[in-house]
Amino acid sequence: MDKQEKIDFLAQYLPSIKQISNTDTAAAVADVWLEMLRLSPWDSVDQAKFKEGMDVSLISHVNSTVEAALAVSRIITRYHKVTFDEEKIIILGLLHDVDKIIEYLPDANGDLVVSDVGQKIQHGVMTAILAYQAGFDTDMLHMILTHTSTQNMKTIFREGLLFEHIDICDWEMVVKFYGS
């Protein structure tokens, strides 16, 4: 697949990738997803899961957090004169949980469990490795690695801080109230 084909392929599942203005950056986002998918037993992007023990897709969480983060950023800008780089929010949102593709996998009984990678490698690290290989800069690797409460370093970017809150909100809503 060429760059545009990769972007179009991923856009079937994650339409906000089309809002990234730079084709090379959008294709690099697609590369991270496709490479992580290659490392997994899943046949397609929409099979990847959000959490062990739950039949919730990863892409629904990613789409929800990207849209919510953009919406909240615009409201904060309107009321408080705090501006955000929207593309940075979109790129972070699309990348932040890619490693969940290999962190939650079916066991021998078909139950979705935390994988060997999920048990031994801190959330965010595998995504950051593939993002580094795809050419993302230190700032984006920093935001990927700091979006999760499983590590100690705090984000230094407003887009990262905003996304961290949206991410945990979406997580808690799904984990505590899904389907109700």
167 belongs to the binding site for Fe ion (CB under 5 A): yes
Residue 135, C-beta contacts closer than 8 angstroms, at least 6 positions apart: 24, 28
Q: Which is nearer to Fe ion, 8 or 72 (CB)?
A: 72
Under 8 Å CB-to-CB from 102, ≥6 apart: which residues?
36, 39, 40, 115, 117, 118, 126
> Given the rule CB under 5 A, which of 29-37, 50-58, 93-101, 129-137 is the region that contacts Fe ion?
93-101
Nearer to Fe ion, 97 or 99 (CB): 97
- Residue 103 within binding range of Fe ion, rule CB under 5 A: no
Give the phi and the psi of residue 57 in degrees, each rounded to 5: -75, 150
Cβ-count burial of 176 within 10 angstroms (0-12 exposed, 13-18 middle, 19+ buried)? exposed
Q: Could you say which residues in the range 33-52 bind Fe ion, by CB under 5 A?
A: none
Question: In this chain, which stretch among 35-43, 50-58, 67-75, 165-173 interacts with Fe ion, using CB under 5 A?
Answer: 165-173
Binders of Fe ion among residues 139 to 158 (CB under 5 A) are none
- Cα separation of 142 and 64, whole Å? 22
Q: Is residue 164 part of the contact set for Fe ion (CB under 5 A)?
A: no
Among 13, 88, 97, 136, binds Fe ion (CB under 5 A): 97
Question: Would you tell me which residues interact with Fe ion (CB under 5 A)?
Answer: 97, 167
